Amino acid sequence: MPLTPTTRVLLTGAGAQLAGAIRTRLDGHCALTAVTRRECDVTSAADMARVTRDVRPEVVINCASYNDVDRAESEPEAALAANGLALGVLADAATREDAVLLHYSTDFVFDPAVDPGPLREDAPISPRSIYAQSKLLGEILAKRAPKHYVLRVASLFGGSRAKSSLDRLAAAIRRGETVKAFANRTVTPSYVPDLADAAATLLARDVPYGLYHCVNSGHGTWVDVARALAVESGVDPDRAVTPVPFDPAAFPARRPTYAALSNAALAAHGVTMPLWRDAIARYVRTLPA
């Protein structure tokens, strides 16, 4: 459904990094109501009923989530409630309003044993952590809404609320520090302004409902990412970046060694994503000198 200045859009989890970029992108293009967890707890059916009764949304964009991957191992109930069961509440609310539900999931639902190339939406899933399992449950429950988009994203960075691992890596490099980066963990970095553009385009083009990978194009190791950050920052990458091996067992929560996602399905519907290296260059230009 094309967005117009009168299209009623409800954005949950408004304090999140991706939500900030979505607010910036949609401001002035629709009738946007953004709510934080304090204003609307998405795990609460009563809260969602109250807010949707007031807003009467035509689109619900969910950015609310439990993102502390390691802490989720010791707080499974909280992670499963926010990332999983809440999507049942959101799907039911969207269904009552005949609204489109747009929800974000994660590359962590995968963990292939060998490098299979960029992963498509139908690649075998293997969620090894509580966080990944909770996000997979969210995917399943989001599909209860007849009009749904589930977008898997990965390695977010940028935006006015930048706080991710990649953002911290960029800050350290620009301070002149030498950073350690994984030489054998492959990712698809995703610039949140590009993801916000993709969401707006997806809605405008009436892309068929379903599950899609929404990431910048291409992929690389964390060493590749760190070196690109250094080059764009005018820093010698050989001095700034020290490659180190990635050991999944070193973290409380299992992380996939290979998590490169293919965005070909979205591109086939006219939602094309810029290369991640181009996104890194644009991102660095936004950072203070």
DSSP 207: P
Residues ≥6 apart with Cβ < 8 Å to 18: 63, 104, 153, 156, 159, 192, 195, 196
Interior/surface letters 153-173, b for 16+ CB within 10 angstroms, e for the rest: bbbbbbbebbebebbebbebb
Q: How many CB atoms lie within 10 A of CB 246?
A: 17
Q: Minimal CA–CA distance to 200: which of 56, 24, 16, 14?
A: 24
DSSP 209-232: SEEEE---BS-EEHHHHHHHHHHH
Asked whether 226 and 241 are in contact (CB, 8 A), the reply is yes
Q: Minimal CA–CA distance to 232: which of 190, 167, 281?
A: 281
Dihedral over alpha carbons 91, 156, 192, 260 (to 10 degrees): -90
Q: Which positions are annotated as active-site residues?
A: 131
Q: Minimal CA–CA distance to 155: which of 186, 110, 120, 200?
A: 186
